Amino acid sequence: MTKTCAGFDAGVASGEALGVGAVRIVGGGIGLARTCEVVEVQPAISKSPVRLAANRWEMVIRPERGGRITSLRLDGEEILDQGIGVDQPTAEGFVEGGAWGWDEMVPNVEPTDALPDHGEAWRVSWEVLHSSQRSAAMRALGRIVPWELTRTISLDEDVRVSYVYRNVGDFPHPAYWCAHPLFKYEGEMAHGLPSPGPGSSKKVFLPPGSTSSFQLGWSSGLGIEMSWDPFLTPDVAIWICNGDLGGYYQIAVEPATASPLLAPGESFDWWLQIRAL
């Protein structure tokens, strides 16, 4: 939740807020349209989860659920928050839809008149390009902003995630992405930041480009380090929820791009990695 996708509002001021209906942009502007029409968001089509495993890691991904990583296990222990039983991808808000697991926030986080809460990527089905025991590549396409995101995940000693964002429209637009892995939160866990009180939450914004990694440790003795390139993804926020939002217990490490401006057909690529401590 480090920033919204700057510049989009100027081209979509007449758009309606997204609910179960989505706003389709048609025409010109800075990669967006001058006019809007409302189309229905279709319920997710049931598909088999993609399961990966290698060494100490196991992962489950649901392509039809916005490409959500629903499970990440280290030595058999689940380290992603499993939520409070809410799973509704057609909900208007991200929390209403079920805030758990790991999603990709594209092309915005904060909602605008035309862009939904926490972006489009969690609301659309992802295409599986490749899948094996240790790796999977998936692709998603924007319905409002003409973006294409390809994500490749590889499990080995570490979890490696590579991304390619491409402008598939006719006009330049800024490429915004934010990682949204919601790890499970424990009040006494190691994370190096002040913890919010019971029933509350907080977000800490780190100085841009100030760090390339962040560590988490749980009471079981498991620990991870999440790392990234601070030049490619300089904006980082840490979200901690200690029973807020209806009872969620989660901590998210959120590196984000600085919204580089992409010409039509141009792409931008970056990566992140998780290693066991």
Pairing of strands 159-167, 147-155: antiparallel
Q: Give percent helix, percent strand, percent coil of the chain, each to the nearest 5.
A: 5, 45, 50
* pLDDT value at residue 48: 87
* pLDDT value at residue 250: 98
User: What length does the chain have?
Assistant: 277
CB-count exposure of residue 87 (10 Å: 0-12, 13-18, 19+): middle
pTM of the model: 0.84
Q: How far apart are CA 140 and CA 120, in angstroms?
A: 9
* pLDDT value at residue 67: 97
Query: Residues 203, 238: contact at Cβ < 8 Å?
Result: yes
Please state the domain extents for the chain. 8-276
User: In the CATH hierarchy, which fold is given to the domain comprising 8-276?
Assistant: Beta-galactosidase; Chain A, domain 5 (2.70.98)
Q: How far apart are CA 127 and CA 188, in angstroms?
A: 39
Per-residue pLDDT of the chain (277 residues; tens, 9 = 90+): 333 333 343 333 222 333 333 333 333 333 333 333 333 344 444 478 999 999 999 999 999 999 999 999 999 999 999 999 999 988 989 999 999 999 999 999 999 999 999 999 999 999 999 999 999 999 999 999 999 999 999 999 999 999 999 999 999 999 999 999 999 999 889 999 999 999 999 999 999 999 999 999 999 999 999 999 999 999 999 999 999 999 999 999 999 999 999 999 999 999 999 999 9
* pLDDT value at residue 20: 31
